[in-house]
Every structure is written in structure tokens, then in C-alpha cells.
């Protein structure tokens, strides 16, 4: 019995479970002995670093929450994926690790069986999506293998579906089909592409004029987070008034306190990133090793900055209009009775930039601007709706920042509230969609152009 | 032993992919190395011999004593193999 208890203790410890996941991946990928030891240890330590960063971040978020509620009489939320996922690990750590490992397997199986041969390699987004499904299903009381399997089916099929849906746009952007979009802001990117195609002219590209280089420091996520948080903390410190802030600071100077808390927030996010980076840096190579052996012709779906070099100016324009969209939407949240979503700079930069590139490919300058704006509106309203499906975590002053986390979370949460049967149906719908989309829509396949070319040359040889 | 970094904006998605490609190239070259992924601001504060990154981020790493190698296409194994070979020859 003691051994069983020991085993159970080990397996319910999230850091060890993630470490086991890395261990299995590295062994299957036939990594060398030193690589297996380093990879497994670093993954476990990465997870412990993640927890430490989360504690620092909570310390900085608490006073901000009070300042916002005192200043505006509202619940204010800064969507930061890293933060909410780190917080979710306290209650759903083991579930998240289990779903993540199984979701990779589901992705590989679907890529093998359907015509949508995409392998999603943005490991941190798989981690976040796994945490999201664990939370939205888990808060309704569903647990154990049911939670693991449904969570993995939902996460794994979204890992195939989203790159597929973005593929027609990616063909326009990269002028080829070697890489797919593997980032969970894809709903907003496609919306940006569609709106862009309506409002602008793709021939008038953003890349024909120059944007000052002085804005490019926002690419450094630590700097952009720090600058944005300084602005946010100082604004709400002013709104809440010195009396409230001095009380929070335990009698210290309120402005110094606000500045230090803002920078502590940035520090916490960075520490969490160090942890996530350690985990992902070990798991992704193992996973790529496995997938390249099992599914040779699969197309890798990669993180959003992969499209930035195709239109760097569109990235800056998309970022700017995305923040603008977020600020404009913020005005409507209060009157609609929704929580106040404060623009988080990291999601706005990366997804706004991606939306700018998609908008530019379909509608040039105006397309990029409109695309960024649409992204900003979506990642403000969707996270606000998502909050009600996150149980106690919904009161943590932070939430998921990107469009796909929001829509998947909202639908999954809605289904989960109605009962476990509906979660199973929802998971089955997503899996079925991978098969059906692959059969019905040739443009969503990764080899559409190649097949077109083949068909054309075959027709030619017949005619000749 | 040479210390090598794969650097991207967040040090998450792109650099993890770059890491697998770099590892294959470094193994082939036969040098003794340590390879890690990181973001631009962390790379600036750390001791390294070689940093592989994109053109935009290379700008911000200029002050570093390490040798900065710009990778144009993170998916192109040939480009990466060639640049690793060149960089290591230069270091030695």
C-alpha cells in the first residue's frame, strides 16, 4: 500500500508528470543518455521555476486588483497567458500535464489519418490550451480519465484544425506551403484576413513604406511588458488615489510602490517565461523527433513570429491598431456588464502583429490596419466572456489572452456546464471536423498547390 | 566547450524549433557544445560564444561579445548547417 501511495503521490505531482512526459518523448526519439538526463531534469526544474514566478506575479497582481476596483468600482483583468496558466497549475497541474502529453498523440494520429497533415509545434500554446481545457471542463466537477480524454481530444483536434483554417491565408503570405500557422490566435488572424480583403487592396502593401525603427524595441517582450505595466499601474494608482495606495503599500510612498509593483509584475512574467522556456526547449525537440519519423510529409505549424519577416511593417501597424481596438472595446465592457479587460501588451503585440500580416496579405495597408483592429476587439471581448467559465480562477485578475483560447474555452465551458455527455459530443464534433474538412475542402490541405500542379501536369501529358 | 544560444522574441516557439535544427548541425560538426534557448534580453546578459537569431533581433544584440549569426529562414536545414559550419570554423 505504501508503494501505491508513493506512486500516486508522484503521479499527481505536476512537475514530475511533465518530467515523465519529456522522458518518454526523449526515449522514443532515441536521444542520447546525457540528453535524456538533462531534458528530464530541466523540464521538472522548469516547472518549479514556473510556480515560483507565479507567486511573485500574484503578489503584484493583488494590489492592482484593489486599485482598479477602488478606482473604477469594476473588476479589472489583464489577460496574460503565462500568468493564468501558472495559477491554474495549483489545482489542475497533473491534469494539464496529462492532457498535454495525450494531445500531442491525438495531433499525430489525426495528422496521420486525415488529409490535414499538420503537426503543431508551438509547445507553449499546447501547454496553455491543455491548461484551458483542464480548467473549463474541471470546474464543472468532471475529473479523472474522462477529463483527460476529452481535454486531449479537444486540444489535439484544435491543433490540427486551426493550422488548416489558416492555410489559405498562409499560402498568400509565404507564397508557398512549407509552413503552417501554429498559434492559438488563429481565429483573429482569419477574421483579420477576411476583413482585410473587404476593405483594402492587396497590391498596396504595407512594405512599400517605412515605419520608424524606434518602435521595434517592443519586440523585446520584457521591455514592452514593463512599459505597459508602468502605465497601467500608475493610471490606476492615480484613479484609486494616494490614500488607498498608501494603505496597500503599508504606509510607504504610493508612487514608488506602484512603480515597484509594475516592474515586479514584469519580473514575475519573465521568471514564468524562463520556466516555460526550459520545459518547451526540451519537449518540442523530442516531439519533432517523433513526428518526423512517424509522419514524414507533415507540415509543421509554427509560432506566429514565423510570418513577421514577410511583412515587418504590417506587424507594427497591426500591433498599434490592435491596442487601439482593445482600448475602444474597453469603453463598451462596463456598460455591457462585462469585466474590464485591460490590454495586455504581449498578446496585443504578437497577435496584433500576426493579424496585421494576414490583413496586409489580403488587403494591403488598410487591410493590415483593419485586421489589427479586429484582433484587438476580439481579444478584448472574447476573454471577457471566457471569465465566467473559469470558476474561481475567473477572479484572479488575469485570464487567457488569445482568440482561440477564448473561443475554445467559451464553447467547452458552455458544454461542460450542460453535463459530461455534451463535453464528449463537443470533442467528437472537433475530431469529426478534422476528417470532414480534410475531405471536403482541398484548400485546407497542406499540399493543395502541389496537387494542383500535379493535376495540371497530368492533364497536359494527356492532352499532349 | 562552446556555449550556443538560439534566440527569438519570447524565447519560446521559434527558438525551440531552431534548437532542434542547430543541434543536428552541431552534432555533425563534432564540437563539444552547450545549447540553450532564450529571449533577446536574457541573451544580452549571458556569457556565450555563438548566438543564432533573426535579423531584427540581431540588431539588439550588437553589444554582445558573442559571435552573432543571422538565420534568414528558421526552417531551412541547409542554411542552418552551412552557417553553423562557417561559424565554428571561424571560432577555431
Ordered alpha helix ranges (H), A295-402: 312-333, 345-386
Q: Which residues, at least 6 apart from A327, have a Cβ–Cβ distance to it below 8 Å? A: A343, A376
3-state secondary structure of A202: coil
Q: How far is CA A281 from CA A46, A455, B16, B74, in A?
A: 10, 41, 5, 15
- CA A175 to chain B, closest CA, distance in angstroms equals 14
- A121/B16 CB distance under 8 A: yes
- Among A162, A211, A212, A210, smallest CA distance to A184 is for A162
β-strand pairing of B2-8 with B33-39 = parallel
Contacts of A104 (CB under 8 A, 6+ apart): A25, A126, A156, A287
What is the reported pLDDT for B13? 72
Of A272, A341, A274, which is closest to residue A60 (Cα–Cα)? Answer: A272
**Hey, of A124, A174, A286, A305, which one would you mutate to test binding to chain B, going by the most B CBs within 10 A of its CB?**
A305
- Spatial distance between the Cα atoms of A330 and A338, rounded to a whole number of angstroms: 10
As a whole number of angstroms, the distance between CA A418 and CA A64 comes to: 34
Query: What whole-number distance in Å separates Cα of residue A412 and Cα of residue A153?
Result: 12
Q: What is the largest CA-CA distance in chain B?
A: 31
Q: How far is CA A43 from each of CA A25, A47, A261, A376, rounded to the nearest angstrom?
A: 12, 6, 29, 34
**Mutate which: B10, B27, B71, vs A, most A CBs within 10 A:** B10
Measured between CA atoms, the residue of chain B closest to residue A178 is B75
Class of residue A57 by CB neighbours under 10 A (exposed 0-12, middle 13-18, buried 19+): buried
Residue whose C-alpha is closest to residue A303's, from B54, B14, B18, B37: B14
Query: Which residue in this structure is represented by grid cell 483542464?
Result: A134
Q: Which residues in chain A have Cβ-Cβ distances shorter than 8 Å to B77?
A: none
Beta bridge partner(s), residue B38? B7
Cβ-Cβ contacts under 8 Å, B63 against chain A: none
Record: contact B13-A303, CB cut-off 8 A: yes
Residue among A97, A166, A152 nearest A304 (CA):
A166
Copy the grid coordinates of residue A49.
Answer: 521555476
* Chain B residues with beta carbon closer than 8 angstroms to that of A183: 13
Which chain B residues have any C-beta within 8 angstroms of a chain A C-beta?
8-17, 19-20, 23, 36-42, 54-57, 59-60, 72, 74-75
Q: Give the Cα separation of A363 and A356 in Å (integer).
A: 10
Q: Residue A179 is nearest to which of B13, B59, B75, comparing CB atoms?
A: B75
pLDDT, one tens digit for every residue, chain B (92 residues): 888 988 887 666 777 778 888 888 888 888 888 888 888 777 777 788 889 988 878 877 877 788 888 888 777 788 888 888 888 888 77
User: Residue A286 is inside which H or E element, if any?
Assistant: helix A254-294
Q: Do B37 and A277 touch (CB under 8 A)?
A: yes
Name the grid cell of A156. Answer: 489535439
- pLDDT recorded at residue A213: 63
Taking the C-alpha atoms of residue B75 and residue A313, their distance in angstroms, rounded to an integer, is 22
Any idea what DSSP says for residue A401? -
Count the neighbouring beta carbons within 10 Å of the beta carbon of residue A35.
Answer: 16
DSSP letters spanning A149-183: HHHHHHHHHHHHHHHHHHHHHHHHHHSSSS-EE--
Query: A146 CB contacts (<8 Å, ≥6 apart)?
Result: A420, A423, A424
Q: Are A75 and A396 in contact (CB under 8 A)?
A: no
Q: Nearest C-alpha of chain B: how many angstroms from A304?
A: 8
With contact defined as beta carbons under 8 Å apart, do B20 and A288 qualify? yes
The predicted complex's ipTM stands at 0.70
**What distance in Å separates residue B86's CA from the closest CA in chain A?**
24
Which pLDDT score, from 0 to 100, does residue A220 have?
66
User: How many angstroms separate the CA of residue A384 from the nearest CA in chain B?
Assistant: 25
Pick the residue from chain A with its C-alpha nearest to B16: A281
Cell 505595466 appears where?
A: A229
CB-CB under 8 Å, B14 with A219: no
Query: Can you give the pLDDT at residue A425?
Result: 96
Of B14, B23, B42, nearest to A285 by CB-CB distance is B23
Chain A residue with Cα closest to B54: A309
Q: How many CB pairs under 8 A join A and B?
A: 96
Task: Name the residue with cell 492532457.
Answer: A99
**Nearest residue to B42 via CA among A315, A44, A223, A350:** A223
The pLDDT value recorded for residue A215 is 64
Nearest chain A residue to B5 by CA: give it. Answer: A281
Inspect the interface and report whether the beta carbons of B57 and A219 lie closer than 8 Å. yes
Dihedral (C-alpha) A174, A277, A119, A181: value to the nearest 10 degrees?
-30
pTM of the entire predicted model: 0.79
Start-to-end CA span in chain A (Å): 77
Radius of gyration (C-alpha) of chain A in whole angstroms: 22
Neighbours of A297 (CB within 10 A): 9
Q: With contacts defined as CB-CB under 8 Å, which chain A residues touch B75? A: 178-179, 300, 302, 306
Which residues does chain A have within 8 Å of residue B80's beta carbon, measured at their own beta carbons? none
Residues whose CB falls within 8 Å of the CB of residue B26, separated by 6 or more in sequence, listed in order: B4, B33, B35, B84, B88
Per-residue model confidence (pLDDT) at position B29: 83
Interacting residues of A43 by C-beta distance below 8 A, sequence separation 6+: A18, A19, A21, A22, A278, A279, A282, A283
User: Of the candidates B17, B38, B41, which has its C-beta nearest A302's C-beta?
Assistant: B17
**Per-position pLDDT tens, chain A of length 464:** 677 777 767 766 777 877 887 888 888 878 889 888 988 998 889 888 877 887 887 788 778 878 877 777 767 788 888 888 888 888 888 889 889 989 999 999 999 999 999 989 888 899 999 999 999 999 888 888 999 999 999 999 999 999 999 999 999 998 888 788 999 999 999 999 999 999 988 888 877 766 566 666 666 667 777 887 898 889 889 988 888 888 888 888 989 999 999 999 888 878 877 887 787 777 777 777 777 778 877 888 888 877 877 787 888 889 889 989 998 998 898 888 888 888 877 788 889 999 999 999 999 999 999 999 999 999 999 999 998 888 877 777 788 989 999 999 999 999 999 989 999 999 999 999 999 999 999 999 988 888 887 777 776 666 54
Amino acid at each position: 500500500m505504501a508503494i501505491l501511495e508513493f506512486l500516486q503521490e508522484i503521479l499527481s505531482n505536476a512537475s514530475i508528470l511533465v518530467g515523465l512526459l519529456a522522458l518518454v518523448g526523449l526515449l522514443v526519439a532515441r536521444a542520447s543518455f546525457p540528453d535524456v538526463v538533462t531534458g528530464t531534469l530541466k523540464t521538472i526544474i522548469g516547472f518549479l521555476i514556473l510556480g515560483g514566478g507565479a507567486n511573485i506575479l500574484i503578489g503584484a497582481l493583488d494590489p492592482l486588483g484593489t486599485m482598479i476596483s477602488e478606482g473604477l468600482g469594476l473588476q479589472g483583468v489583464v489577460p496574460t497567458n503565462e500568468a493564468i496558466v501558472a495559477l491554474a497549475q495549483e489545482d489542475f497541474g497533473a491534469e494539464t500535464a496529462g492532457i498535454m502529453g495525450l494531445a500531442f498523440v491525438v495531433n499525430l494520429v489525426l495528422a496521420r489519418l486525415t488529409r490535414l497533415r499538420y503537426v503543431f509545434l508551438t509547445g507553449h500554446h499546447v501547454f496553455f490550451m491543455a491548461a484551458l481545457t483542464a480548467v473549463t471542463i474541471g470546474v464543472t466537477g468532471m475529473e479523472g480519465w474522462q477529463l483527460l480524454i476529452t481535454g486531449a481530444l479537444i486540444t489535439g483536434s484544435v491543433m490540427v484544425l486551426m493550422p488548416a483554417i489558416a492555410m489559405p491565408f498562409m499560402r498568400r503570405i509565404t507564397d508557398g506551403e512549407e509552413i503552417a500557422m501554429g498559434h492559438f490566435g488563429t481565429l483573429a488572424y482569419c477574421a483579420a484576413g477576411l476583413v482585410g480583403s473587404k476593405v483594402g487592396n492587396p497590391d498596396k502593401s504595407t512594405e512599400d513604406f517605412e515605419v520608424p525603427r524606434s518602435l521595434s524595441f517592443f519586440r523585446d517582450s520584457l521591455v514592452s511588458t514593463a512599459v505597459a505595466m508602468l502605465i497601467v499601474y500608475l493610471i490606476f494608482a492615480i484613479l484609486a488615489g494616494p490614500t488607498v495606495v498608501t494603505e496597500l503599500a503599508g504606509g510607504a510612498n504610493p508612487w514608488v510602490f506602484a512603480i515597484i509593483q509594475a516592474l515586479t509584475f514584469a519580473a514575475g512574467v519573465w521568471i514564468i517565461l524562463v520556466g516555460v522556456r526550459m520545459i518547451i526547449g526540451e519537449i518540442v525537440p523530442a516531439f519533432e523527433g517523433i513526428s518526423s519519423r512517424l509522419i514524414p510529409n507533415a507540415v509543421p505549424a509554427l509560432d506566429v513570429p514565423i510570418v513577421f519577416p514577410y511583412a515587418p511593417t504590417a506587424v507594427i501597424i497591426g500591433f498599434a491598431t490592435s491596442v487601439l481596438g482593445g482600448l475602444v472595446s474597453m469603453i463598451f465592457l462596463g456598460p455591457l456588464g462585462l469585466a474590464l479587460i485591460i490590454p495586455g501588451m504581449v498578446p496585443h503585440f504578437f497577435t496584433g502583429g500576426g493579424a496585421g500580416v494576414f490583413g496586409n496579405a489580403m488587403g494591403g495597408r488598410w487591410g493590415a490596419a483593419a485586421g489589427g483592429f479586429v484582433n484587438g476587439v476580439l481579444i478584448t471581448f472574447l476573454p471577457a466572456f471566457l471569465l465566467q467559465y473559469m470558476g474561481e480562477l475567473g477572479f484572479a485578475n488575469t485570464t487567457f489572452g488569445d482568440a482561440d483560447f477564448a473561443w475554445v474555452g467559451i464553447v467547452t465551458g458552455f458544454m461542460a456546464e450542460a453535463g459530461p455527455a455534451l463535453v464528449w459530443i463537443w470533442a467528437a464534433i472537433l475530431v469529426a471536423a478534422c476528417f470532414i474538412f480534410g475531405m471536403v475542402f482541398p484548400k485546407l490541405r497542406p499540399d493543395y498547390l502541389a496537387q494542383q500542379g500535379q493535376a495540371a501536369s497530368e492533364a497536359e501529358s494527356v492532352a499532349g | 566547450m562552446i556555449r550556443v544560444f538560439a534566440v527569438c522574441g519570447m524565447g519560446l516557439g521559434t527558438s525551440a524549433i531552431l534548437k532542434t535544427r542547430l543541434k543536428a548541425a552541431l552534432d555533425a560538426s563534432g564540437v563539444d557544445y552547450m545549447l540553450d534557448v532564450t529571449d533577446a534580453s536574457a541573451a544580452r546578459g549571458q556569457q556565450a560564444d555563438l548566438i543564432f537569431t533573426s535579423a531584427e533581433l540581431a540588431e539588439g544584440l550588437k553589444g554582445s561579445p558573442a559571435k552573432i549569426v543571422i538565420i534568414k529562414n528558421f526552417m531551412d536545414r541547409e542554411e542552418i548547417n552551412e552557417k553553423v559550419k562557417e561559424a565554428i570554423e571561424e571560432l577555431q
